[in-house]
Structure 1
Amino acid sequence: MHPAAAFRHTDHQLHETLIEEVGFGMVFAQTPDGPRVGHTPLIYRGDLSTGDQPIGDGTVQFHLSARNALTKHLAGTTALLVVNGPDAYVSSRWYDAPDEPPTWNYVALELEGPVRRMDAEGLSAMLETLTARHEARIQGGKPWTMDRLSPARLHGLMKGIVGFEMDIRARRDTVKLSQNKSAEERSNIAKGLEENGSAGIAQLMRTLLK
């Protein structure tokens, strides 16, 4: 993550919204074969608790191919999960000062914690939630559901993937939105980004930096 404190935004609600809206991330871990990464859809599950006593900072569920180089090593390890939000090149032509270099604005979140393997029931429930969530975002037609698969087909597909759950023990974010520039320059940058096809990062600059 970026070392500058100005680019921190420690609101957990923003982190959780990023996970939900992006819905995809990268899981990194060290293995006996060297460092490996898996790319996977994500589901955020909220705070862990025992009764009324919170014991963690939420969980993230995901799945990998059974043949992924990371899969056989992941359970029982501490892993790093990265979610990347909007990003865009920032041109120096949008600055007032003539001697400022270009840069890159971006939003990213790191989550770190221990990982455990999910059982078949948990994996099935996660896939149903994942499918329902993303099918609801598609315009037109009837949402696809897992019960449309034949039992034999579903069984074969489930054998080919492994579900995991990470307990979040640390969060590190970068919300780099030109906070080190004046309000007027930030407005110019947001306008330039929007006019050049980067509406997402421009919108964040306007809504998060009030």
Structure 2
Amino acid sequence: MRQNPSFALTDVAELRRLIDLNPWVTLVSDTDDGLVASHYAVLLDDGRDDLTIVGHVGRPDDAIHGLGERELLVVVQGPHGYISPGWYGDVPSVPTWNFVSAHLAGVPDILTPEENLAVLDRLVARFEAPMPAPRMMWERPNDAAFIEKLERGTVGFRLTPTRVTAKRKLSQNRPDDVVETIIAGLSGEGPHANAALAAEMRRSQDARAAARIAMEDAR
């Protein structure tokens, strides 16, 4: 991903928020047979406060990726969407795409069966908890034999990235009135309505406004 200093995302808390809200990621490896990619859900490691993530792949994806033997690239994709040049006003402009994304790269550690079970349990709890009648991993009709068979069919991993490239391109280079017009366009009912991206831009815009006020008060 080509980086632009104006859009660089380096704040660890914001990166953790991005990962937490967008757990469905793409795993990419450069193998002897060429590039391979898989898609899985990951979680932040609950025992750390950095960007370490935990997850699993189903067999034989571990062998296909050479999991634990080579660098793994994890692509995290946040809100994104089309931005019409019509939202910029009567000035020369072209369409663009706003987005938030991060690339985490490193050689993952393979989890023990016990650690993998704990991660699988957390994954189920994370997404099942909001259900009207949650059914957790260890609840009936699942039994121990079923869960153990499930674990043997997966390989868990923990990745502490050694390289991070993250970008938050949310029209920060545009005047406030243009940003407000874009947010309004994304919040409407048009063909490119995108409530999630509008909310992310609103959050960014409010943070920028608060930072400006803080700077003025400090003078």
Query: Counterpart in 1 of 2:214?
Result: none
Take 1:63 and 1:37, find their aligned partners in 2: how far apart are those partners? 14
Q: Given residue 204 of structure 2, which amino acid in structure 1 is its aligned partner?
A: L
| CA-CA distance at 1:58 after TM superposition | 3.9
Query: Counterpart in 2 of 1:208?
Result: 204
Indicate the structure with greater strand content: 1
Query: Counterpart in 1 of 2:212?
Result: none
Query: Counterpart in 1 of 2:159?
Result: 166
| CA-CA distance at 1:21 after TM superposition | 1.1
Query: Counterpart in 2 of 1:192?
Result: 185
Q: Secondary structure at the match of 1:146?
A: coil
| CA-CA distance at 1:168 after TM superposition | 1.7
Q: Given residue 91 of structure 1, which amino acid in structure 2 is its aligned partner?
A: S
- Asked if structure 2 preserves the Cα contact closer than 8 Å seen for 1:29 and 1:37, the reply is yes
| CA-CA distance at 1:157 after TM superposition | 1.6
Query: Counterpart in 2 of 1:53?
Result: none
Q: Given residue 14 of structure 2, which amino acid in structure 1 is its aligned partner?
A: L
* TM-score normalized with structure 1 length: 0.88
Residues 57-206 of structure 1 mapped to structure 2, 5 A cutoff: 57-68=50-61, 71=64, 73-138=66-131, 140-141=132-133, 143-148=134-139, 149-195=142-188, 196=190, 197-206=193-202
| CA-CA distance at 1:68 after TM superposition | 2.1
Q: Given residue 157 of structure 1, which amino acid in structure 2 is its aligned partner?
A: L
Runs of 4+ in 1 over 4 A off after TM superposition: 46-49, 69-72
Deviates more, 1:152-161 or 1:81-90: 152-161
Q: CA offsets, 1:115-148, max 9 Å, x none?
A: 121110000000111111112233x22x211112
Take 1:130 and 1:7, find their aligned partners in 2: how far apart are those partners? 31
Percent identity between the aligned chains?
29
| CA-CA distance at 1:72 after TM superposition | 5.7
Structure 1 runs not aligned, ≥5 long = 50-56
Aligned pair count?
A: 201
Take 1:191 and 1:111, find their aligned partners in 2: how far apart are those partners? 32
Take 2:11 and 2:110, find their aligned partners in 1: how far apart are those partners? 29
CA RMSD of aligned residues (A): 1.9
- Asked if structure 2 preserves the Cα contact closer than 8 Å seen for 1:71 and 1:162, the reply is no
Deviates more, 1:98-107 or 1:143-152: 143-152
